């Protein structure tokens, strides 16, 4: 494979192209009109504009992307995450065009895209599932019977959903009829598929996922877990590897289970098997994500494996050169997703121009980003600016390094989730490891950040007053000098 087209933008496009360059593979970027000056466009060996900014007029135009690939003699297409990455039709069209899709085969994407098909296959292979139905359910009477059997609260999930989309909690039997009706009609309009199923609602689980790699020769390995319980509204904010609650035995059991899930759908490439972990001991298979995930770097840091490189080697048809026994966990890694969102204001998008953008550096710090100082954050896409990733010999070192890196990260022009990261990483529940998927709801009070802000503002005001005073005292100084001084003060505190 000598030339790869990256059908994505931002940090993940950069991430993929860096490995391509290391492997001596030429890269083709595609971009929308909003991304003309984006780093991924300049980094690539060739770049082609797809169209206007909206995703459905650019990054989602599968056929156009394939046409570009054919024209430029591209041998492989890497979809990144989001956009076309889990689109079985696109994967098939790529293959039909004689180009290698760097990812699993269409049937694996399809099977895992249907949560019901995934559960059915898992059940047939003795993979532990949350108690519930493995078939679509429509009949309200049957739903009631099952719900009473498994006990409330229950969760109604859309088969075509996933990642928390199309989920509804039902607390008591009286609400069931109405919620079922809503869930079905919502699923129908959102996904064009009204099938829903019922599960017992596990109220305080941890969200643990296992990274797998599978080659085209039937070899499957896992690269341990990522702990992703720190989320808000199904958007992960802090991820880490390893999880501090997995014993070696539990890790082996979940790893083996993830490998079986990959095997049962004939998986090829890098994938992630999601589990719920209840009481730090009972785990249930939730779903499989058939793409490279946002949080893959924490796995890379603790395993020493470049996952994108493995994806490419696998796509070339090579045998996995790593065996399960070769792998071990080295140190600890954390990732903070830096979003252009205001944590004090209910995480509302806070887009703007990155008038200051200075990234942290030094030992154990990795920043995966797709922005530069002076760039506008486009309104059309996910508002993630970067991923701040730290590595340490142990969890404490990784945490301290993250706190240091957050302090060194300077972004002006928009609000970000950086202060939220500091809040989480200093919280007793996080530090002690005593947390679950309810962490943000349970422990995050935006006022805590407002107070921090106030302290800073107060300090700034005091310093400004002090500078003005000292200016007055030097009344003999020339006007020019005064102007310069106040200009400096204004810049410093703006």
Binding site for ligand MV4 (CB under 6 A): 130, 155, 163-164, 199-202, 205, 207, 231, 234, 274, 276, 286-287, 437
Q: Whose Cβ is closer to ligand MV4: residue 200's or residue 332's?
A: 200
- Structure-token pair, residue 448: 């805590």
CB of 323 to ligand MV4, least distance (A): 30
CA distances from 156 to 137, 194, 234, 289 (A): 10, 12, 16, 20
- Tell me which H or E stretch contains 389: strand 384-392
- Structure-token pair, residue 395: 């969890």
Report the C-alpha gap between 17 and 131 in whole angstroms.
Answer: 43
Instruction: Compute the chain's Rg from CA coordinates.
Output: 25
Q: Whose Cβ is closer to ligand MV4: residue 19's or residue 437's?
A: 437
Q: Whose Cβ is closer to ligand MV4: residue 35's or residue 186's?
A: 186
Q: What is the DSSP string of 57-87?
A: GTTT-HHHHHHHHHHTT--EEE--SSTTTT-
Q: Whose Cβ is closer to ligand MV4: residue 99's or residue 254's?
A: 254
Q: Check residue 218 and report its DSSP letter.
A: S
Q: Whose Cβ is closer to ligand MV4: residue 205's or residue 269's?
A: 205
Report the C-alpha gap between 132 and 485 in whole angstroms.
Answer: 69
Which of 319, 296, 311 is closest to 20 using CA atoms? 311
CB of 286 to ligand MV4, least distance (A): 5
Q: Whose Cβ is closer to ligand MV4: residue 130's or residue 333's?
A: 130
CB of 234 to ligand MV4, least distance (A): 5
Burial bucket for residue 119 (CB in 10 Å: 0-12, 13-18, 19+): buried
CB of 122 to ligand MV4, least distance (A): 14
Report the C-alpha gap between 36 and 14 in whole angstroms.
Answer: 15
CB of 257 to ligand MV4, least distance (A): 16
- Is 291 noted as a catalytic residue in this protein? yes
**Catalytic: which of 291, 337, 366, 401?**
291
Q: Whose Cβ is closer to ligand MV4: residue 109's or residue 320's?
A: 109
Report the C-alpha gap between 441 and 234 in whole angstroms.
Answer: 12
* Dihedral sign computed on CA atoms, order 280, 284, 286, 287: positive
Which of 69, 57, 61, 83 is closest to 4 using CA atoms? 69
- Structure-token pair, residue 184: 């079905």
CB of 285 to ligand MV4, least distance (A): 11
CB of 154 to ligand MV4, least distance (A): 8
Query: Which pairs from 82-85 meet CB under 8 Å and 24+ separation?
Result: 82/8, 82/382, 83/7, 83/8, 83/55, 83/59, 84/7, 84/59, 84/60, 85/8, 85/290, 85/291, 85/292
Residues recognised as catalytic: 291
């Amino acid at each position: 494979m000598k030339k790869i087209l990256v059908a994505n933008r931002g940090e993940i496009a950069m991430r993929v192209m860096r490995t391509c360059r290391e492997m001596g593979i030429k890269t083709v970027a595609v971009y929308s009109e909003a991304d003309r000056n984006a780093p991924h466009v300049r980094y690539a060996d060739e770049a082609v504009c797809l169209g206007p900014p909206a995703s459905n007029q650019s990054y989602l135009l599968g056929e156009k992307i394939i046409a570009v690939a054919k024209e430029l003699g591209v041998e492989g297409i890497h979809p990144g995450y989001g956009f076309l990455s889990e689109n079985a039709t696109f994967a098939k069209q790529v293959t039909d065009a004689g180009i290698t899709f760097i990812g699993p085969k269409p049937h694996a994407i399809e099977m895992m895209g249907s949560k019901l098909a995934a559960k059915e296959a898992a059940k047939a292979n003795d993979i532990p599932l949350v108690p519930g139905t493995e078939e679509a359910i429509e009949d309200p009477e049957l739903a009631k019977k099952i719900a009473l059997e498994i006990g409330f609260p229950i969760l109604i999930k859309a088969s075509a959903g996933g990642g928390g989309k199309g989920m509804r909690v039902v607390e008591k039997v009286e609400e069931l009829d109405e919620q079922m009706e809503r869930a079905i009609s919502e699923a129908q309009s959102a996904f064009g598929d009204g099938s829903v199923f019922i599960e017992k609602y596990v109220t305080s689980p941890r969200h643990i996922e296992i990274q797998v790699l599978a080659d085209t020769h039937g070899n499957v390995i896992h690269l341990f877990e990522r702990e992703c319980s720190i989320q808000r509204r199904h958007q992960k904010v802090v991820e880490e590897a390893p999880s501090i609650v997995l014993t070696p035995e539990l890790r082996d059991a979940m790893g083996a289970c993830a490998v079986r899930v990959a095997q049962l759908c004939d998986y090829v490439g890098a994938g992630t098997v999601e589990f719920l972990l209840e009481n730090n001991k009972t785990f249930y298979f939730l779903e499989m994500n058939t793409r490279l995930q946002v949080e893959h770097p924490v796995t890379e840091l603790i395993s020493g494996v470049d996952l994108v490189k493995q994806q490419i080697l696998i796509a070339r048809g090579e045998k996995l050169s790593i065996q399960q026994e070769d792998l071990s966990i080295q140190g600890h890694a954390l990732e903070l997703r830096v979003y252009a969102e205001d944590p004090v204001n209910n995480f509302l998008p806070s887009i703007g121009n990155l008038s200051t953008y200075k990234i942290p550096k030094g030992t154990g710090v990795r920043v995966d980003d797709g922005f530069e100082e002076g760039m506008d954050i486009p309104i059309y896409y996910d508002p993630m600016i970067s991923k701040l990733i730290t590595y340490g010999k142990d969890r404490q070192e990784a945490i301290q390094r993250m706190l240091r890196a957050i302090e060194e990260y300077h972004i002006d022009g928009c609000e970000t989730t950086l202060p939220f990261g500091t809040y989480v990483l200093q919280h007793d529940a996080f530090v002690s490891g005593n947390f679950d998927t309810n962490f943000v709801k349970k422990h995050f009070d935006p006022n805590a950040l407002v107070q921090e802000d106030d302290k800073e503002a107060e300090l700034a005001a005091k310093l400004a007053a002090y500078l003005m005073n000292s200016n007055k005292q030097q009344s003999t100084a020339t006007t020019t000098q005064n102007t310069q001084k106040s200009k400096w003060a204004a810049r410093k505190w703006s």
